[in-house]
Structure 1
């Protein structure tokens, strides 16, 4: 990272927490990250709003991942630099009562962060039994680390919910 263009402290703090979670749990399994900084939730929500406003057509409301706009670039670039990986950002926008089908990113790891709302996420190995999968309730500001080779499904959406998925590609 260039000293001429440092990240805002709240963005750097969020990137550092996600990177630590990925480094700690990357070879062990899923992990839930409860950030202690309210500013992290505000950051996610701010990035989401800017992405939504900068898109001429808005972001479609569906459980399927939709590529994030250019406003998430500072976040993906910073996380990619810390982890030494390519990072892609997606949104899941779900209406109240919405749910998603099985979603996965192949062998790539990912983090799911709730920018707005709350939902239940079931997570299981691609080759595993979906019915035996544990599920977690995620609320605004919480993040879930999804190991490579796992898929997830979102349900129990009682209020409109926005998830940001940061997909961690191969090592640089």
Structure 2
């Protein structure tokens, strides 16, 4: 049941609305209503601070099997009329991630901690990045960051272990 209208349906509708404008063209950050509540269901109870990188990897593996993840992927797939796959990625403090896959549109949803995302457009992109440098922004629990296929994304600057749900959206954007 949705609490004050901010349950999973509202969360998914806000993301789908954002992607209806930005999908296939440019990165977009949205703070969907109910984001902290919906994503909070994926993170287990307990302290959210002291967690070693190994523990963050274990948490990511455990979340991979969670039924709430399936509810998110199937719900978003229905809204977008597209296939949606989920994977969890951990970002240890003081380290950068490898580039995320560029083959599909990505939706980055932090479920624990926060990190910095660096995004670069493809070389043949019509609009150059502002000031000639990559887009950089801080991701936190409750945010949803959309990155179109072909853009290069790297994650870094986690002050504590960060775990993100990475949703890959497959299929052409709806006209």
Taking structure 2 as the reference length, the TM-score comes to 0.75
Match of 1:148 in 2: 149
The whole-number CA distance in structure 2 between the counterparts of 1:66 and 1:49 is: 10
Q: How many residues align?
A: 154
Bigger share in strand: 1
Match of 1:167 in 2: 168
Q: Which runs of 5+ in 2 are unaligned?
A: 46-54
Q: Using the TM superposition, name which of 131-140 and 153-162 deviates more.
A: 131-140
- 9, 14, 26: which one pairs with 2:11? 14
State the Cα distance separating 1:24 from its structure 2 match: 1.0
State the Cα distance separating 1:14 from its structure 2 match: 0.9
The alignment yields a C-alpha RMSD, in angstroms, of 3.1
- Moved runs in structure 1, 4+ residues, more than 6 A? 128-131
Asked if 2 retains the 8 angstrom alpha-carbon contact of 1:66 and 1:92, the reply is no
Taking structure 1 as the reference length, the TM-score comes to 0.76
Question: How do 1:83-162 residues align onto structure 2 when only pairs under 5 Å count?
Answer: 83-106=80-103, 108-127=104-123, 132-162=133-163
Asked if 1 retains the 8 angstrom alpha-carbon contact of 2:39 and 2:141, the reply is no
Structure 2 counterpart SS, 1:168? strand
Q: Which runs of 5+ in 1 are unaligned?
A: 1-6, 51-57
Q: Does 1:82 align with 2:100?
A: no
